[in-house]
């Protein structure tokens, strides 16, 4: 039933009961009864327009993605939530290896902003908010597949709808630990940036909040907004990433590295400047 509503939302903001019945292979009366049960369980939303329509929200979308992971033998158990942000929540999970399952949460209110900024959405100006989350997850999974294992990122395992399952990396965020060798950690982070550049990608949102310090060293997470080197703001975004890293290590550990030195270290000193955001808005 939830899958039928999901399918119907490709063409309807609020899916009519007859359409849910058709897609689920049930008669209208039985479909209406089951929809009422799902509404009571707060797994669907209901709107009375010139017809009664239904829509799933993220809780139901989570269930659909998890069911798919279980069916494909990627996930056997879901654990505690250990990460939450404006655009994603992350849970521990068990599979063949310890996993982190990340559910993207691009919502209705933020979708227009997301669509303006993220390349993978610009060619889909009317995509529903639910599918914006799925597109973000797919983009992140595809980038991680191209980066792993050359770049220090979690190993991507599986993708379903707005959720991606990846290797669980035990360890604190960079901002939540006092490093015994901060110079080496900074060097390893910049080496990861350089490795991503050689593969044609810039993180575009790098900071102390999306670096995990594992026993093997820093691992960079959160890649849905990553851009390729052909992006018109590639250098600008790389400079911002490097600036965030350099400022953190200078502020907390008094390690001073000029931006030009960091650009040279990651192999981007000769990278063309590209256009600024202001210039792009005029074109």
Eight-state DSSP code of residue 173: B
Nearest to 239 by CA among 261, 220, 266, 263: 263
Q: How many Cα atoms within 13 Å fall on the side-chain side of residue 60?
A: 21
> Please, are residues 260 and 269 in contact by the beta-carbon 8 Å criterion?
yes
> Please, are residues 192 and 152 in contact by the beta-carbon 8 Å criterion?
yes
For the CA atoms of 104, 92, 203, 127, the dihedral, rounded to the nearest 10 degrees, stands at -10
Nearest to 207 by CA among 227, 184, 237, 231: 237
Whether 119 is catalytic is no
Of the residues 59, 62, 205, 215, which is catalytic? 205
Active site positions, annotated: 205
């Amino acid at each position: 039933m939830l899958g039928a509503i999901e399918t119907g939302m490709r063409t309807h903001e609020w899916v009519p009961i007859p359409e849910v019945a058709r897609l689920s292979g049930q008669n209208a009366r039985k479909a209406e009864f089951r929809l009422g049960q799902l509404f009571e369980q707060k797994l669907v939303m209901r709107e009375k327009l010139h017809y009664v329509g239904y829509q799933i929200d993220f809780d139901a979308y989570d269930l659909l993605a998890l069911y798919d992971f279980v069916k494909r033998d990627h996930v056997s158990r879901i654990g505690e939530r250990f990460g939450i942000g404006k655009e994603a929540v992350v849970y521990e999970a068990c599979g063949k290896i310890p996993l982190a399952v990340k559910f993207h949460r691009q919502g209705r209110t933020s979708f227009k902003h997301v669509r303006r900024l993220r390349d993978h959405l610009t060619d889909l100006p009317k995509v529903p908010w639910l599918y914006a989350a799925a597109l973000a997850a797919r983009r992140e999974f595809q980038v991680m597949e191209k980066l792993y294992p050359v770049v220090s990122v979690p190993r991507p395992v599986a993708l379903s709808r707005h959720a991606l399952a990846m290797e669980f990396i035990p360890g604190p965020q960079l901002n939540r630990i006092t490093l015994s060798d901060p110079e080496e950690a900074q060097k390893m982070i910049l080496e990861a940036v350089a490795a991503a550049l050689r593969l044609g990608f810039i993180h575009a949102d790098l900071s102390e909040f999306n670096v995990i310090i594992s026993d093997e060293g820093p691992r960079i997470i959160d890649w849905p907004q990553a851009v390729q080197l052909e992006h018109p703001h590639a250098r600008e975004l790389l400079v911002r990433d490097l600036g965030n890293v350099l400022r953190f290590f200078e502020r907390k550990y008094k390690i001073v590295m000029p931006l030009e030195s960091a650009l040279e270290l990651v192999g981007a000193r000769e990278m063309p400047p590209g256009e600024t955001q202001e210039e792009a808005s005029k074109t």
